[in-house]
Amino acid sequence: MAKPVTKKISARKPAAKTSAKKPAAKKKAVKKPAKRDMSYYFTVKDSVKVVQSRSGKRADKRTKFLVDTLVKHMHAFVKEARPTMDEWMYGINYLTRVGHMCNDWRQEFILLSDVLGISMLVETLNHEKMSGETESTVLGPFYIPDAPAYENGANICLDGKGEPVWVQGRVLNAKGKPIAGAKIEVWQANEDGFYDVQQKGIQPDMNLRGVFTADKDGHYSFRSAYPRHYPIPHDGPVGDMLTALDRNPNRPAHLHFMVSAPGYEKLITHIFTPDCPWLKDDAVFGVKESLIADFTTVNDAKRAEGIGLPNPFRMVEWNVVLSKP
């Protein structure tokens, strides 16, 4: 059967009708492309503005301020330090390792903040003292909220190690009036440089920590061991960074205090021994001059017997002044 004749329509060859030569079109004036609004597109020059402008009308104001400020400084850091792609990836992996080292017993992110001086900066800016109140310093990772409560004068050194020390003082307000009933929580590392929580089964539980209550004149007292310096946990990524920077991991010898009373700001602080070789090289920058205490040696057999310490003994007198909120 003969095939029906069909007109072939070629996509390439236009039909005769359409291929007829058109009269030359009038030359249109070449329009310049409209200027684009470049604020949508990322440029090195405008990187901060571009990122900051993405948040919407309903953004939380404080969050926006914090994130915008972070972006501003992080972009400035990148522009100045110009990390390579490998260095950027190292940073991502490093922070991932820090995160993996965080659990109920270990907070590597806080430790990172501590060794970078961030914790001390935040802490100090938030607790600027006005008129003679006791200065604050870092909390550290070894505080436990449920340490045992003791009568004044009790001995918190349960492992019997170290040089005995008598600690006494008063809790006062800025006008020098006693704050009766103030709660004084104390904790410290032992003679070997470890907190009880770092040596479960080696040290007695709750070794070198306790809670005391100021009497009607604001007095508190207890027996402890002369503090020794110790290294912060440095077996993780923070330790690696300290090694790479040739920095020491040590904290100068100290005794932690957390003092609270209704109507007053809670005070988190330490006292430092005056003879520690690490005073000027604290791995977490926690030393403030006003927190270096005088530890004296007392040679008084009768007094030693009265407080239950061998003669001679070390003693420190430390008054704590709380501020109003």
What are the residues binding ligand BEZ (CB under 6 A)? 111, 114, 138, 140-142, 232, 251, 284
Smallest gap, in angstroms, from Cβ of residue 58 to ligand BEZ?
Answer: 39
Q: Which residue, 114 or 133, is less far from ligand BEZ as judged by CB?
A: 114
Smallest gap, in angstroms, from Cβ of residue 114 to ligand BEZ?
Answer: 4
Q: Which residue, 140 or 164, is less far from ligand BEZ as judged by CB?
A: 140
Q: Which residues contact 91 (CB under 8 A, 6 or more apart)?
A: 83
Among the listed ranges 33-41, 87-95, 139-147, 274-282, the one in contact with Fe ion (CB under 5 A) is: 139-147
Q: Which residue, 113 or 173, is less far from ligand BEZ as judged by CB?
A: 113
Q: Which residues contact 182 (CB under 8 A, 6 or more apart)?
A: 171, 213, 214, 218, 220, 259, 260, 261, 264, 320, 322
Q: Which residue, 170 or 229, is less far from ligand BEZ as judged by CB?
A: 229
- Residue count, binding to Fe ion (CB under 5 A): 1
Smallest gap, in angstroms, from Cβ of residue 195 to ligand BEZ?
Answer: 7
Smallest gap, in angstroms, from Cβ of residue 220 to Fe ion?
Answer: 20
Q: Which residue, 259 or 284, is less far from ligand BEZ as judged by CB?
A: 284
Smallest gap, in angstroms, from Cβ of residue 166 to ligand BEZ?
Answer: 22
Q: How far apart are CA 284 and CA 113, in angstroms?
A: 9
Residue type, position 123, single letter: E
Q: How far apart are CA 123 and CA 286, in angstroms?
A: 10
Token pair belonging to 24: 């030359």
Q: Characterize 171-189 residue by residue with b for buried, 16 or more Cβ atoms within 10 angstroms of its Cβ, and e for exposed.
A: bbbeeeebbeebbbbbbbb
- Residue 67 belongs to what H/E stretch? helix 61-81
The answer to whether 140 contacts Fe ion (rule: CB under 5 A) is yes
Query: What distances in angstroms separate CA 259 from CA 103, 128, 319, one per listed residue?
Result: 27, 17, 11
Smallest gap, in angstroms, from Cβ of residue 107 to ligand BEZ?
Answer: 9
Residue nearest to ligand BEZ (CB): 140
Token pair belonging to 238: 């923070």
| 161 phi/psi in degrees, rounded to 5 | -90, 160
Q: Which residue, 182 or 287, is less far from Fe ion as judged by CB?
A: 287
The answer to whether 227 contacts Fe ion (rule: CB under 5 A) is no
Catalog residues that contact Fe ion under the rule CB under 5 A.
Answer: 140
